[in-house]
Structures are given as C-alpha cells and as structure tokens.
C-alpha cells in the first residue's frame, strides 16, 4: 500500500492540517510556521505505533518515555497545540492519521492519538489495520526517520548501539553519530 496523505491535529505549531503526498514532498515556510512540527508529529506517531504493545481505538496503552527511540521534547506533555496534554480521556491530546491506498484503490487509515500518561509515558490509542501492520510494527521496523540538520562531523567516531544512535540523532546530534547512522542503513542491518 502507498501512503497518500497525512493529517495532524493539535500538535505543537499545528492546529489542524491535511497534506496530500506524492513521491517527493517539500515543506516550505518561514521560521516557526510548523515545518518541523509536521515532521516531528509524523515520526513520533510512527515510533509510538511501532513500540506500543497493542493499538486499539477503545482503550489506551502506555509507552514509557525511557523506551522511546524518539521524543521531540523532554517536556512531552507540552506537545499539544494550544494546551498541554493531560492524562484523562477528556484531556487535550494530539492525533496523526496516515491514509494509504493500494493498486485497486482500496484505502486503509492508520490513526495514532497521543496524550500524557499518568506515569512517565505517552498514552496511545487508535487504529492500525491488519494490511498495514507490518509497515509499522516490530522492534526493528522503521516506518520513518527524523534526523535534523548535520554540521561539524568529527574525524573519529566510536561504535554505538542502535538505541543510542537513534536517540542521539532525534535530539539533533546526528553530526556526532553520522557513521553509526549510516551503518544502520547498510543492507546487512536492514535485513536483520
């Protein structure tokens, strides 16, 4: 199935936006207009969908902050647009939808609703249809990647674990872990 559009509600600078997608997509806008918020929302939602035990619309599961490969801010409860996330069903939350379509024009919608959990974590609910599940699920399955700008690459770099590399890159330290990140993209690593 092919990803055709994404929709983001109430995440950082984004109140509500739906973006139709093609093979190449370029975000253009002034500083503070929400370009990074879009990318962060998509990547956080895909990471949560991968790491949550089960995804259901009628109940929530919690992903501990310490288990996340990516988190746009240490103050994750402040990721809501206009209001901090709460931990009740009626509290402010954010939602990301991925709309897919197959060659026969059949559609599948993936939904990830996120809010603060009672403990140090993010509470997740939503929908992940069976025909899309393999694209998001699994400890070694990565639907998206988010690596902020790269500058100041060091001459020497030590080998680090996958979790260390992913976390460091998501926090903007991709320059220090460039060789490790490239190594994760090698065919041997992808097939494992």
pLDDT digits 0-9 by tens, 106-143: 999 999 999 999 888 999 999 999 888 888 886 677 77
Q: Which of 39, 63, 37, 33 is nearest to 51 (CA)?
A: 63
Q: What is the pLDDT of residues 161-178, one digit of tens each?
A: 988 888 888 877 877 888
Both tokens assigned to 70:
């990516």
Q: List the domain boundaries for the chain.
A: 2-146, 148-192
Q: Which of 6, 32, 36, 2 is nearest to 20 (CA)?
A: 6
**In CATH, what number does 2-146 get?**
3.40.50
How far is it, in rounded angstroms, from Cα 125 to Cα 135? Answer: 18
Burial of 16 (0-12, 13-18, 19+ CB in 10 A): exposed
Residue 88 CB coordination number (10 Å) = 11
């Amino acid at each position: 199935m092919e990803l055709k559009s994404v929709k983001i509600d109430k995440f950082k600078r984004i109140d509500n936006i739906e973006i139709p997608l093609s093979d190449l997509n370029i975000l253009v806008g002034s500083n503070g207009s929400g370009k990074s918020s879009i990318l962060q929302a998509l990547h956080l939602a895909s990471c949560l969908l991968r790491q949550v035990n089960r995804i259901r619309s009628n109940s929530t599961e919690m992903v501990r902050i310490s288990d996340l490969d990516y988190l746009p801010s240490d103050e994750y409860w402040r990721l809501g647009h206009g209001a901090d996330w709460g931990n009740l069903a009626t509290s402010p939350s954010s939602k990301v939808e991925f709309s897919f379509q197959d060659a026969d024009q059949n559609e599948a919608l993936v939904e990830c609703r996120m809010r603060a959990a009672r403990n140090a974590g993010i509470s997740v609910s939503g929908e992940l249809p069976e025909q899309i599940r393999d694209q998001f699920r699994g400890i070694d399955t990565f639907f998206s990647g988010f690596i902020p700008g790269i500058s100041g690459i060091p001459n020497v770099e030590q080998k680090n674990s996958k979790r260390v590399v992913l976390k460091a890159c998501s926090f903007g330290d991709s320059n220090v872990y460039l060789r490790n990140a490239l190594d994760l993209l090698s065919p041997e690593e992808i097939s494992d």
